[in-house]
Amino acid sequence: MSYRILILSALLMAGCGSPADVPPQEEPAAPGVSAEQIARDTLIVDTHIDVPYRLKEKYEDISERTADGHFDFPRAVAGGLNAPFMSIYVPAENENNGAKALADELIDMVEKFQADWPDKFALATSPDQLEEHKARGLISLPMGMENGSPMEGDLKNLQHFYDRGIRYITLTHSRCNHIGDSSYADLARPQPVRERAGSGDEPDRNDG
């Protein structure tokens, strides 16, 4: 047994070679560009910015640096942010209580950003527009909807909001709605989605 171990050790050492046979490690290359330059050269997207509902609660001029919040035009430019998705946030309390009207009001507000400051912001509904706006020095304003309550049980509203610029919808928020169960909700309470009759096709279930 010891004889075999010695032979195996010798073979392994022979395979390793001498230090002279190992090529020297190259020194790490000095960085050629700064992080700021990388940010300038890259199209940066943030998929959720809670600006519209924040400004509904307390309006500020986001074309200038604001006292509250985390987003405005100067901050976006300084950080290299090109496409902040404006979140059309509808609180869970608006289920069956004016959800669609509130969503339309918030979309109106985002459209007004472009109308008021066309040299700074532009609505965007496609990747090509993001590239075009970046080349023109504009901040793109794509939109996503937080909470599907504004669908109000009618698939025509899905087309309505797509036509208004919405490009994603998170189905629920902090409570169950007519589309699905919320992970925050206590499903022992009345009206989880699997106990309700849906409109049209049965809704997907989330029993996990």
**What tens digit of pLDDT does each residue of 123-157 get?**
999 999 999 999 999 999 999 999 999 999 999 99
* Tokens 């009759």 found at: 197
Looking at residue 205, its pLDDT comes to 43
Write down the CATH superfamily of domain 43-195.
Metal-dependent hydrolases (3.20.20.140)
pTM (global) more than 0.95? no
Give the residue-averaged pLDDT of 169-179.
91
Structure tokens at 183: 């992970």
Looking at residue 199, its pLDDT comes to 47
Looking at residue 118, its pLDDT comes to 98
- Residue 72 in contact with residue 62, Cβ under 8 Å? yes
Q: Domain-by-domain residue ranges, the chain?
A: 43-195
Range among 25-29, 110-114, 200-204 rated most confident:
110-114
**What tens digit of pLDDT does each residue of 53-109 get?**
999 999 999 999 999 889 999 999 999 999 999 999 999 999 999 999 999 999 999
For residues 24 and 105, which has the higher predicted lDDT (pLDDT)?
105
DSSP state string for 15-51:
HH--GGGSPPPPPPPPPSS-HHHHHHHS-EEEEEE-H
How many CA atoms, within 13 angstroms, populate the side-chain half-sphere of residue 126? 4
